A = this chain, B = another copy of it.
Amino acid sequence: MIILSKLADYGVIVATHLAAYPDRQVTAGTVATETRLPQATVAKLLKALAHAGLVTAARGAGGGYRLARSATSISVAEVVAAIDGDIGLTQCSVHVDECARTTYCPTRPHWAAINRAVGQALSAISLDAMLTPAAFVPRTFPSANPSQPDEPRFSA
């Protein structure tokens, strides 16, 4: 399974690209060619980012996009949320009321905690951090089953 949609992935690339050249007004087409991504898709992504207030848009000739805030103050989580909507682990995380078996489901309370962990992992990295070549290493979780023989793979 893949957690981030292709669009969200591209969105982070685009946002990071903008972060690399702060205070430069760039058109969607320019970003597309520079990032080697399809033009129409980049345009759509920038629209979503603008709608979320992460980038500012200027129309007309000589217009374009630029980051609304500093690269250090924008997290990856915000970019993803701007494109794919708010992050929730499960269906009932997002639409709480639509789950008919809320009363029977013993698992639901536990999702909240995992959810928060994922969210914080994504919030912990700013666009600025994405630009640095060295990888950010988050603090690891304590494993509930340390001597587990075959853990599922989490490929990088």
| This chain: copies in complex | 2
Contact of A58 with B by CB under 8 A:
no
Interface-facing stretch out of A21-29, A39-47, A147-155: A147-155
Do B121 and A114 touch across chains, with their CB atoms under 8 A apart? yes
Within 8 A of B (CB), among A120-156: 120-126, 129-131, 133, 135-145, 148, 151-156
Contact of A49 with B by CB under 8 A:
no
CA distance A138 to B144 in the complex (A): 10
CA distance A125 to B109 in the complex (A): 13
**Of B105, B118, B133, the contact of A154 (CB 8 Å cutoff):** B118
CA distance A153 to B86 in the complex (A): 6
**Of B8, B120, B156, the contact of A93 (CB 8 Å cutoff):** B156
| Residue count of chain A within 8 Å CB distance of chain B | 81
**Of B9, B36, B73, B126, the contact of A104 (CB 8 Å cutoff):** B36
Within 8 A of B (CB), among A89-115: 89-94, 96, 100-101, 104-107, 109-115
Do A144 and B130 touch across chains, with their CB atoms under 8 A apart? no
CA distance A116 to B152 in the complex (A): 11
- Tell me whether A1 and B111 are in contact in the complex, defined as CB-CB below 8 angstroms, given that A117-B121, A156-B93 are known contacts: no
Considering the complex, give the chain B residue whose CB is closest to the CB of A77. B152
Identify 6 new A-B residue pairs, CB closer than 8 A, beyond the known A86-B154, A117-B117, A117-B140: A1-B8, A1-B84, A109-B133, A116-B154, A123-B141, A139-B141
